[in-house]
A and B are shown apart, each in its own frame.
Chain A
Amino acid sequence: MGKILVILFGVIAFAACRQQQPAATPPASGLRKISAADSQTVERIRQSGVKILVQQPDYLIVYSDSAQIGQMQAMAMEAKTATEQDLVQRLVRIHFTDKTQLQKIVDLGVDVWEVQSDSVTARVYDLHLEQLKQDGFTYRILKMDANAPEEQ
């Protein structure tokens, strides 16, 4: 009887903890991780309309809908589920000339940390940097991984 109870307890505990694990199946649309993409691949992805959120030397994080995922599969790209740790953000100082420009920066969805008279310090994805560049903003990267702990 004791043995059965102990086994039962163990099974329940194991099942309870398994329930807390993140789902293994990737969602129909959303974030995907593509490993070791060369510049041609990056360009093909860009042209397909997929948002490249993060561009690291050894992987890309893209945000795509189900149709775009199909397109990527057709291009023989292996897209895996991205983890939160893959979502690298940059800390940047972006320059603006007036309040309209400042609002344009904010409305891109960047994470504004500090506003000064002619610049804003913000945490951004590479996607935002691409948009800022296209909109003619100048910026300087202060930290390649905004979330990395400060060095002592």
Chain B
Amino acid sequence: MKAAPKIQSRIFAVVGTIISAILLMGGRCDNNGGPSQPDAGLYHTYAEIDHELHELANVNLQITLLSSIGKSVEGRELWAIKISDNAGQDEPESTVVFLGGHHAREWIAVDVPFLLAKQLVTQYGSDTTITRLVNQAEIWIVPMVNPDGHQYSVTTQRLWRKNRRNNGDGTLGVDLNRNYSYQWGGPGSSGDTFSDIYRGPAPFSEPETQAVRDFLRQHRPASLISYHSFSQLILYPWGYTDNPAADEAVMQNLAVAMADRIRVVHNVRYTPEQSSDLYLASGDTTDWLYGVFGAPCFTIELRPQSASPGFQLPENQIAPTFEENLAAALYLIDWAIQSHSPTL
């Protein structure tokens, strides 16, 4: 008779544990009801970028430094990897920064900078050009500036563009590439919260852009590339006005040189032009960096050229897109080393 309460208690405990587990797993609090392990095929998800960057850094301690530059609206870490010969030290070398994934649906714009990091680390010591550039420069790569939006694009709406800010009126998201402060609120951005180019309630209202701003202020890059897709363009400031930038000649020459190097690899043409030649757009990353620090910087719109397939670039084009852009990235790092006097 004494055994009955014991059995009852065990049954209670088992049922309770199962219910608790279901509650925890079921609501694991992927707000979108998506699976807990999102799958983007050969493209990298946030979890995969997180895991592989840690793995890359852990086995290459001398030449890498992995750090978080801040957190997204939903609390995801914004990972940045530094690649340099003595990555743990601030050396008097030129800094070049590569950013990816401001816009959620532009998956290729995450994979290109991530693969660049991987290539620089794994080929260090065996490829003479890469070894020299890593020795002489401080290279920082932030492959996914908008992890919340990317996750939403993977799990719920493939063509989502903005971050996942709750705007408080039933709409979600701020366009991070309209949220930088330089000429914020000008043409090519919207004050409507439902718009896909909603600039946010104030300049740098978003934790993602604040993190990039603080990171760039700290590291003062000699140059920068921000990857986007699509259209196969190499854009340089200004974006907010048709007027040419003071350093237009320098930036135009660099853009043309990068386009030439891209074309050599797979004979794919990227058009170099001032950003405003496309249409005016205000509050983007490169206008801010150039406007505040005068550093030549570029938005590269990756493959494909047209709206079909547009943002949904087939997986078999990830490798060639990376290969052609590797050539351009290495060229820009080399330029920064040769021509820029570093600041410390």
Contacts and interface: CB of A to CB of B under 8 A. Distances in A.
Nearest to A83: B170
Nearest to B279: A106
B29 A111 contact: no
A86 B157 CA distance: 13
A6 B12 contact: yes
A140 interface: no
Kindly name the residue among A10, A20, A29, A103 whose own CB sees the greatest number of chain B CB atoms within 10 A: A10
Nearest to B166: A22
B31 A20 contact: yes
Given A6-B12, A106-B187, A115-B279, A16 B27 contact: yes
A31 B187 contact: no
B168 A30 contact: yes
A29 B169 contact: yes
A147 B312 CA distance: 12
A8 B291 CA distance: 56
A37 interface: no
B171 A31 contact: yes
A116 B20 CA distance: 55
Contacts of A115: 231, 278-279
B24 interface: yes
A13 B177 CA distance: 37
B264 interface: no
Interface string B19-43: 1100110111101000000000000
A123 interface: yes
Interface string B302-329: 0000110011100000000000000000
Contacts of A7: 16
B27 A112 contact: no
A13 B278 contact: no
A114 interface: yes
Contact of A111 (B16, B31, B161): B161
A146 B123 CA distance: 42
A110 B188 CA distance: 9
B170 A81 contact: yes
Interface stretch (B140-148, B193-201, B251-259): B193-201
Which DSSP category, helix, strand, loop or mixed, fits chain B's interface?
Answer: loop
Interface string A92-120: 00000001001100111111111100000
Interface string A9-47: 110011011101010001101111000000000000000
Contact of A13 (B23, B159, B310): B23
A10 to B, nearest CB: 4
Given A106-B188, A109-B195, A6 B13 contact: yes
B219 interface: no
A17 B23 contact: yes
A84 interface: yes
A26 B12 contact: no
A121 B269 CA distance: 21
B197 A147 contact: no
A16 B187 contact: no
Contact of A113 (B188, B280, B307): B307
A50 interface: no
A30 B166 CA distance: 12
Across the A-B interface, the 6 shortest Cβ-Cβ residue pairs: A30-B169, A17-B27, A31-B170, A109-B190, A6-B16, A109-B195
30 contacts: A3-B9, A9-B17, A9-B20, A13-B20, A13-B23, A13-B24, A16-B24, A16-B27, A16-B29, A17-B28, A17-B29, A20-B29, A26-B170, A27-B169, A31-B169, A31-B170, A63-B192, A84-B172, A103-B187, A103-B279, A106-B280, A106-B281, A107-B187, A109-B197, A111-B161, A113-B307, A114-B306, A114-B310, A125-B194, A147-B158
